[in-house]
Structure 1
Amino acid sequence: MKATIWHNPACGTSRKTLAILEESPGVAPEVVLYLENPPSAAKLAQLYRDAGLTPQQGLRLRGTDAEDRGLPHAGDAEVLAAMAAEPRLIERPLVETAKGVRLCRPQDRVHEIL
């Protein structure tokens, strides 16, 4: 099974999630370093829709200026555009498999889609 993880190696939760993927039999992780290769606004919209989340729920608040910019209360298109332009605004890690998408906070949520 292919599992795509939007990964930040500086994040402990992201590293733990990747370790779960790497240790799971039959799982072939594809690692996307999203800070270097950010997903498009359209891809983010699809990921959040498939995860059952709003873009605002996928917004990283800690360590960003998202609140100062009013993004938690902004419309979906504005939030998605901001995330695509500044990927540090994306909460991590997101994992996508054929079984769905999860924002893996905590990392054990990845088991739901394996």
Structure 2
Amino acid sequence: MNNVTIWHNPRCSKSRAAMEILQENNCEAEVIKYLETNPDETQIKTILKMLEITPRELMRQNEDIYKEMRLKEETNEDKLISAMAQNPKLIERPVIIKDNRAIIGRPTERIAEFLNS
């Protein structure tokens, strides 16, 4: 299976489960450890279009940094995107990209179906 990328956090159990599902489906994905190689605002906007969701829907709203930055009150989507670019811990994971489509791999059962579609 070609053209698959995963935004991966090795410390996250769901992200590790996603990697296992990729292997089970004989999928050699490009692995982007997004906490080490921060996606920029343009990359985040591209992913949002593929996911067809709002910036807030891509955010981990229970993270301390989300609360500290008072992002719950923020209505400017560009500022939310900027916050994710500066603090990638805010980005929900794992994100699986195939061709020009993407999903958030939660629940993980969605991943195999997505890979085979």
Normalized against structure 2, the TM-score is what? 0.87
TM alignment of 1:41-56, pairs within 5 A:
41-56=41-56
Kindly indicate whether residue 8 of structure 2 is the aligned counterpart of residue 23 of structure 1.
no
Identity among equivalent pairs (%): 32
Task: Give deviations 1:4-23, integer Å, cap 9, x for gaps.
Answer: 11100110000001110111
The 5 A counterparts of 1:1-114 are: 1-25=2-26, 27-74=27-74, 75-98=76-99, 100-114=101-115
- Which amino acid in structure 2 is aligned with residue 29 of structure 1? A
1:56 partner amino acid: R
User: TM-score, structure 1 length as denominator?
Assistant: 0.89
The structure-2 alpha-carbon separation of the partners of 1:3 and 1:73, relative to structure 1 and needing over 3 Å to count, comes to: farther
- Is this contact kept in 2: 1:7–1:34, CA < 8 A? yes
Question: Aligned Cα RMSD in Å?
Answer: 1.5
Residue identity matched to 1:63: E
The answer to whether the Cα contact below 8 Å between 1:47 and 1:101 also exists between their aligned partners in 2 is yes
- Point out where structure 1 has 5 or more consecutive residues left out of the alignment: none
Following superposition, the deviation at residue 69 of structure 1 comes to: 2.3
- How many residues of Structure 1 are paired with residues of Structure 2 in the alignment? 113
Task: Provide runs of 4+ in structure 1 moved above 2 Å.
Answer: 62-65, 67-70
Structure-1 separation of matches of 2:113 and 2:79: 30
Structure 2: give runs of 5+ residues left out of the alignment.
Answer: none
1:12-61 superposed Cα distances (whole Å, 9 cap, x missing partner): 00000111011113x22111110000111111111011111111000112
Task: Give the Cα separation in 2 of the matches to 1:108 and 1:77.
Answer: 31
